[in-house]
Chain A
Amino acid sequence: MIDFLTIVLVGAGYFFFFATTVGILRLPDFYCRMHAAGKGDILASLLILSGLALYNLHHFSFAALLVSLKILLISVFIFLTSPTATHAIIDAGFESDVQPWSKSTEEED
């Protein structure tokens, strides 16, 4: 049962990582790419780390419970810092006048 739940969570997280990579490679604009990177990363990290923390409780003991809590602490840390980093990068791009993608810039090429 724990194995099945782990496979479902980790598979879903891997799918969101794949979507993040496709978005980073394919989207036309810096802001669009940042959108894909900022969202998909956090959700995929939360899913994969919760799956791994669940799998770590396979042989239950107090030490295994502490290690699982530590893995969840990493996910909380990513949940706090990744939006901050995303906002800092977006701010750097916006303040130094990176032009957003539009129809007119597409037709010039």
Chain B
Amino acid sequence: MEHFFIGLGVGMCLLMGLTLYRAIFGPTAIDRIMGVNVIGTKTTILLVVIGTIYGRVDMFVDIALAYAFLNFIATIAASRYFLHAKNLSPTGFGLWHRRGRWK
């Protein structure tokens, strides 16, 4: 059963790496916020999985709860900051992005 949880943790890390693509190259700023939010939720689950592997769930559960709360506050603050931004469209990194597509 321990091997199953180790495999689950490695698989979650792979999915987080895939989501990091959207957090880095995402066409708009709010795409990046969304990627960071999803990575934070996955990290909360991953902390509980790590606690199960180590056999110390009682300690890691508190860390996971605090991390979920911090993730929520960060997402709310960032999205309120970009609420009325008129230049959300990117200029740099986006691989799909064509300049002037979103006016």
- In the complex, which residues of chain B have a beta carbon less than 8 angstroms from the beta carbon of A41? 38, 41
Interface size class of B (residues with CB under 8 A): 35 or more
Interface class of chain B by DSSP: helix
Question: Would B48 and A52 count as touching, CB distance under 8 A?
Answer: yes
| In-complex Cβ contact of B76 among A73, A88, A97 (8 A) | A88
Q: How large is the interface on A (under 10, 10 to 19, 20 to 34, 35 or more residues)?
A: 35 or more
Partner of A84, one of B19, B35, B76: B76
Q: In the complex, A56→B56 CA distance in Å?
A: 10
| Measured CA separation A83–B12 after assembly (Å) | 22
Count of A-B residue pairs with CB < 8 Å = 131
Say whether A48 contacts B79, CB under 8 Å. no
| Cross-chain contact A93 with B72 (CB below 8 angstroms) | no
Point out the residues of chain B lying under 8 angstroms from A98, CB to CB. Answer: 28, 30, 88, 102
- A96 and B45: CB pair below 8 A? no
B88 and A81 within 8 A (CB): no
Chain B residues in the interface with A (C-beta under 8 A): 1, 4, 8, 11-12, 15, 18-19, 21-22, 27-28, 30-31, 33-35, 37-38, 41-42, 44-45, 48-49, 52, 57-58, 61-62, 64-65, 68-69, 72, 75-76, 79-80, 82-86, 88, 98, 101-102
The 3 closest A-B pairs by CB, nearest first: A88-B79, A81-B72, A85-B75
- Show 29 A/B contacts (Cβ-Cβ < 8 Å), sorted by A: A10-B4, A14-B8, A20-B38, A30-B28, A44-B45, A49-B45, A52-B48, A52-B49, A55-B1, A56-B52, A67-B58, A70-B65, A71-B57, A73-B65, A82-B41, A88-B79, A89-B37, A89-B75, A89-B79, A91-B79, A92-B80, A92-B85, A95-B83, A96-B85, A96-B86, A96-B88, A97-B86, A98-B30, A98-B102
